[in-house]
Amino acid sequence: MSPLMFTLAAELTDAEADGNAQSLAAIAWQLYGQVGEGIAEISRLQAAIHAAWNRPRKNPSPASTAA
């Protein structure tokens, strides 16, 4: 979790304790955006792993040639 997420979580807790609905909504929206960015990064990494895993190999593995 990023430092920004920790900061926003602390601000959310403070706003809830103060009963500040407007701040709660603004902070919740920021957290929602951060989660969306995290999900996008996970999807990007999954695609990169999939592409690397399925890339044709130039040299066969020694195990397959020995069999």
pLDDT the model gives residue 41:
93
pTM of the model: 0.58
| Residue reference for tokens 């601000």 | 11
Q: pLDDT tens across 1-46, in order?
A: 678 888 988 888 888 898 989 999 998 899 888 889 889 999 999 9
Q: pLDDT tens across 47-67, in order?
A: 999 999 998 877 766 666 555
pLDDT the model gives residue 47:
95
